[in-house]
Amino acid sequence: MAKNGVFAMALQQLDSAAKRLKVDESWLTVLRHPERELTVSCPVEMDDGSIHVFTGHRVQHSSARGPCKGGIRFHPSVTLDEVKALSMWMTWKCAVVKIPYGGAKGGIQVDVTKLSTPEIRRLTRRYTAAIMPIIGPRRDIPAPDVNTNSETMGWIMDTVSMLQGSTVLDIVTGKAIDLGGSLGRREATGRGVMFNTLELLKRLDKTALETTVAVQGFGNVGSVSADLLQKQGCKIVAVSDLSGAYYNPDGLPISEMIDYCLKSPNHYLQGFDSGGISRISNKELLELDVDVLVPAALEKQITEDNVENIRARAIVEGANGPTTPDAEKILVGKGKYVVPDILANSGGVVVSYFEWVQSIQAFFWDEDAVNRNLERVMIESFADVWNLAQKKKVDLRNAAMMIAVDRVANALAERGIFP
């Protein structure tokens, strides 16, 4: 295990919560180890006839509370260490919002910008076949993540269905509506970020209309978060993607920017122009003097190297693991609020659960029902975390982790160790 890897960071968070809860050392030892780690080689015939071998992973951290659940990402930075950390965070994420799942995660180390759509499709199908022995509707249900989407989930569902000889709608979530997907699923993670932000603002006696927000990342989570927060009255002054960061102190035209990305090469903001917008660096975006910062890109964006320059009063983590533990101690010490990833971005897994239930029942809800149920879960979960933080005088991450770890540890104790 890399000393400074993200899995070490996940273990540090677990140990901190377990110490406060006085979790039995035996159960803590179990929680520190993923149940299953699978690494696969995925040979793919490229368009030019050559064969390239890609490395993929699927890690299942815990099935104590139910089937494992977690996304699949396609990214050059994917490592086993990263996937292990993400699977552990998924366990806590499901537990903190009372969803009867455990945590899993998957990924392939690949730069999808260098592959054609047919190459990505063949890679997805080969990876699916390789991990099929450990996934299933009652075992482990994948979902979209970085650089994967409803189309990717459709390929996975079709691959499993073809190999099993019957249509298996509930093998994945995040599917297209025509393939048994849920209305509201695409916006769910960003909508959850929005609900968590609004709940925090209520506790700080601040209205959306007087709130400025900067959003790092303009993929599905970042763009939806920015759009929905703006529609609630917040002023979105900065957003960024791989093409750079865009800033306007009077507020950005988020809807126009989303429409532009839908048509632009690689779906980036590169080339977008509108009155009053200036280009800034990603570093400058993170350090803007705003009320709320939403890091919605990748892990380890707020670290000891830049934390002293973070001026936002609150950080709402749209991404997984964007704040390192040491940096968070400094932020909390300064009186800032960090709504942790396992709560802030859990809207996606909540609606994934709704989709899974709908697929099993072959009975689908309207979008209002999905969003109402998501709002209820988010508001109740935020209140649970906030109230425990106030009662125990701990920060929001430790409160969320204490709730999640306690629920998983209790499930382990009630089930016992097999055999």
Convert the pLDDT of each residue in 259-280 to its tens digit: 999 998 878 999 898 889 999 9
Burial of 234 (0-12, 13-18, 19+ CB in 10 A): buried
What are the backbone angles phi and psi of residue 5, rounded to the nearest 5°?
A: -75, 170
Strands 235-241 and 140-144, bridge-based pairing: unpaired
Extract the residue ranges of the chain whose pLDDT is less than 70.
1-4
Residues forming beta bridges with residue 37, ordered by sequence position: 59
The four Cα atoms 252, 255, 260, 266 give a dihedral, to 10 degrees, of 90
Q: Which of 84, 105, 235, 336 is an active site residue?
A: 105
Distance, in Å, from the CA atom of 118 to the CA atom of 140, rounded to the nearest integer, reads 26
| 105 flagged as catalytic | yes
Estimate the crossing angle of helix 347-361 against helix 185-203, to 10 degrees: 140
Residue 1 has a pLDDT of 41
The two tokens of residue 214 are: 């900067």
Task: Walk me through the domains of the chain, giving residue ranges and CATH numbers.
Answer: 22-181 (3.40.50.10860), 186-344 (3.40.50.720)
What are the backbone angles phi and psi of residue 416, rounded to the nearest 5°?
A: 80, 175
Distance, in Å, from the CA atom of 233 to the CA atom of 211, rounded to the nearest integer, reads 8
What are the backbone angles phi and psi of residue 271, rounded to the nearest 5°?
A: 95, -5
Q: Which long-range contacts (CB under 8 A, 24 or more apart) does 261-268 make?
A: 261/218, 261/223, 266/113, 266/242, 268/241, 268/242, 268/243
- The contacts of residue 249 (CB under 8 Å, 6+ apart) are 237
Residue 3 has a pLDDT of 59
- Quote the radius of gyration of the chain (alpha carbons, Å): 21
Residue 72 near residue 40, CB atoms below 8 Å: no
Q: What does the DSSP 8-state code read for residue 316?
A: E
